[in-house]
Homo-oligomer: A and B are copies of this chain.
Amino acid sequence: MKSIITVSREFGSGGRSIAKEVAKKLGYEYFDVEMIERIAQTSGLDPEVMENAEEFSARKSLFGYAFIGRGTKETSMENYLWNKQRDMILELAEKGNCVIVGRCADYVLRDSENALHVFVHADMDYRAKRIVRLYGETNETPEKRLTDKDKMRKANYEYYTDREWGLAQNYDLTLNSGKLGQERCVDIICGLAMAE
């Protein structure tokens, strides 16, 4: 029985939908990285760190995680949020019965015996069609949007964990959702979570 499921995923692979469905089926609480970031950003922030929050966000969206000036004020903001998120993930895990979607939860909870760490990916074609269907067209090609987002996730993961994003060895289970289908991915994860 695994009371914590972490789900990391390539953008557009449906990892988040799979995680939501798993949480629903298992009756677990669901948390995603945006929810955790939002709470971390708005709760109990050090005022000096808060001053840089707006600039930080602007830079983050302009240049991506990888290119934020390190060793500057932004760094302390970034690290502050990272520590805050890490503590939140540890707190959620302590309570158990939850599904956490986020790039680094597998790393934060790497030593947890009660956790099942999952990575979901799919090929470019499947993901491109899926993001256009879900989020619509933009000025950029879907392939460019996918590559940019993956690059950001990869850089972020590798900066904080010193591990390689997407490497099988970091996860208990990785699934190609495009090839296997979302429903089957959900069934496999639920089956493993419930196994003795």
Report which A residues bind B (CB closer than 8 A).
10, 119, 121, 166-169, 171-176, 179-180, 184, 188, 191-192, 195
User: Which residues of chain B have C-beta atoms less than 8 A from A173's C-beta?
Assistant: 173-176, 180
Our pick among B167, B169, B176 for the contact of A172 (Cβ within 8 Å) is B176
**Residues from chain B with Cβ under 8 Å of A175 in the complex:** 172-173
Residue among B119, B167, B192 making CB contact with A184, cutoff 8 Å? B192
Q: How many whole Å from A101's CB to the nearest CB in chain B?
A: 16
Question: Judging by beta carbons under 8 Å apart, are A169 and B171 in contact?
Answer: no
Kindly report which residue of chain B lies nearest to residue A10, judged by CB atoms: B169
> Is the beta-carbon distance between A172 and B180 smaller than 8 angstroms?
yes
Given A168-B168, A171-B176, A188-B191, 15 further pairs, Cβ under 8 A? A121-B169, A166-B167, A166-B169, A167-B168, A168-B171, A168-B174, A172-B176, A172-B179, A173-B173, A173-B174, A173-B180, A174-B174, A180-B192, A184-B195, A188-B192
Closest 5 CB pairs of A and B: A168-B174, A174-B174, A172-B176, A172-B179, A168-B168
